[in-house]
Structure 1
Amino acid sequence: MWKWTQINHLRLIILDCDSLNQAYIDFPYHQYLPDIEIVKINPQSQDQNIEIKYFMEDILKAMRCQSYETILISGDMSYLKEIMTVHIGTLLIGHIQQKDLKYMPDFVIDSIDLLADVLLGQNKGYSGEVLAFENKKGSLLSCQTEIVADDGKRYLTELYFGGRYYPEKHQYLLDDPLSYMILKFKHVYVDIMDTFFDEAVMEIRKKEKIDALTYIPPKPQDIEKKRFQRFLSLKLERNAQDGLMLKDLLLCQCDFSQKGNDLAERRQTVKGVFRVNGDVKGKNIILIDDVFSSGSTMLEAMKTLYEAGANKVIALAIAVSQMTESPLTYQKLVCSHCQEPMELVYYRKTHKLLFGCPHYSSHPDQKSIMSLRLGLFCLKKKNRLYYEDYEYDEYGVPIIYS
């Protein structure tokens, strides 16, 4: 899904010509979007002293477009990271690498045959995000990773994800449907999370023969305090029909915390914390978790399974924790009745998400709540990259009134 772009209002496509091959530059965009404007840029030739915010403001002003009507297509992940900060939609051509997962663009495609579906909104986006938004099917993001065992043996395998997660204290957290549902899943069963894992495992099984499903195990203190075991709540009905059930193939031997640790500390903290609980020799295994942050916990668990003789271990997480921040002041929705900030809430009567203030249920009318679809569109508009929109005379010169 597009974080900042309203795809049915798309008016402007910016092409990073330094990173795209000629096929994407020459693509017949107007054949699919007759009224679209195309701007070609060469970031490597830009004045490096000009901030990306002002450069994009100038383009939007010249084209008389808003940032929520705009996407930028590039093969350069480092440049897309900059574009994300100014609330413009991003499409990466190529493959995402593990080091860039914390700055996931809106879409990643590796074939020009997939481009039209993205532009026309037929490719909805990452599966977890699409499920949380409109309960429809999306696509998994994947990247490769290498697991290095203690004996030096290397294993090349895949990581699969259903979208982006904005972690604790991130300004987008309670305005993002998937992040909200992941938070909820930490405490209660959530049917959308069950559907995600069930469909995602089925999708992976089309590519790989899978012998077993397992999950990141709870810590001893979580078991002792009888905390909700989210993965054990999953039914995975379609896979269960084929006899593929979740099994506790891993046990956590000690408590640990990753809060406040840097990457090196995280890797050291989890070293040796898991042990195998069962026979995994020669098996192809899918290992599931909810959020992939630094990857230290997931990669250590995968290493443990490989060292016990697993043939292949594939990781599957609902989402990747994001680090994207912005210099733009983030503006939340405001309740029309009491003027307090609105955030996502789960409406039990309809089993759907909506936007409401903390007191929405006591307000006298329904005008103080907003549907999920309308709320997300309003957030895109409120948080657009703002520029001064002048009137122009007949020669195209801006008219400035004193």
Structure 2
Amino acid sequence: DPLSDPAELKALTSTLSSYYLYRRSAHLNLTHQRRKEYWALSRRHREILERAMSGTGCNAYLEVLSSLDAAIAENAEVAEGIFASGVGAFGVPAEFKKIGKGKKFKKPWWESHATPEDMEKVKSTLKQFYRDWALEGHAERERCYKPVLDELYEIKVLVPGAGLGRLAFDIVCAGFESQGNEFSYHQLVASNFVLNCTSKVNEFTIRPFIHSFSHHLTRQNHLRSVQIPDVHPGHLLINRTSTLPQNPYSSSPPPSSSTSTPSFPPYSLPATRFSMIAGDFLQCYASEGSTNAWDAVCTVFFIDTAPNVIAYVETIYRVLRKGGVWINLGPLLWHWEGREMPERSAGGTGGRRGRISGIEGTGSVELTLEEVLGVVEACGFRIEKRGLSQEGVRTGYIQDERSMLNYEYRAQYWVAVKI
């Protein structure tokens, strides 16, 4: 319970506060400062800029900033919805004046309790809605989620690093029991919002690319909007029928090389077979009850979040039943490379930013793909299938396909069986 642990409560309220403060922060950093810099230009340079912007008048650039203010307001509606639903979901009280032995708040906690890192995470989470819950993100989801869904044939599926919950949701819509696990409070409160607090398809508008002014071909591309969610989660879970495609990225399931049973079960599982678990992956599934409990584990863009990937592989092995399947797709962008690990001491946990009893307490090592696959086999898996090609699955991650700059991962894909 995060409310009973001062360090956890601090992390949670910092997250919620950052969503509440998004509107103010975005206006300050995106438009207010640029207006000041615009008026700092010489008059001659302002006139050149006016002519360059298609002769739309002396306020052309200022009109762009006004449009950006309107775009911020649309994003803020989502951010403030996440804040409100998160306060309710976690039962955070409005009346406390301080956390633990910290200083008393001079303002309500939600107006003064976010760090710059928290604010950056809000922007990245809003952008992630584009990948996971907008129609425009379908192509990227297809490249990353379709290979995983194609390979599933078991009933009970665990999805560590579930993020905004789309893959875990798609798995349950395909007829499986699915549980997502996520550590980040920013992701948890946002996934709670989209999964539990939306009332219809395309209910909200977001502007995913407004936070950077770089590499845009046109201002229309820069300010363009998308609608979320592209499907209504509650409606699909309650009204799932045999007419719904079993794999949302494929019209028919592929044959399975390792089983004679159909790749997808019938649509008979109740909506209650979908859950999201908050917390550190290693800690959440450390109990005896998690051992041999899952038929399949699906990891997409996840294993490189570990400082020590061996600990992840061992946990995945332990939670799978014998013959269970681990399906992985992703790069090896080691998130902890170059970062200082927390001090190891016998003192308190220090909350999410200093806690070392979970992934942060396992040591740190960065491995090549060849070495990772060696670890997978050394931990007791048999690798049954490797990627679609030596080049891997070419995909972006929250890619703005209209930008002048795009990054491409050669994500590696494998299917491993617990022996």
TM over 0.5: no
Higher strand share goes to which structure?
Answer: 1
User: If the length of structure 1 is used for normalisation, what is the TM-score?
Assistant: 0.24
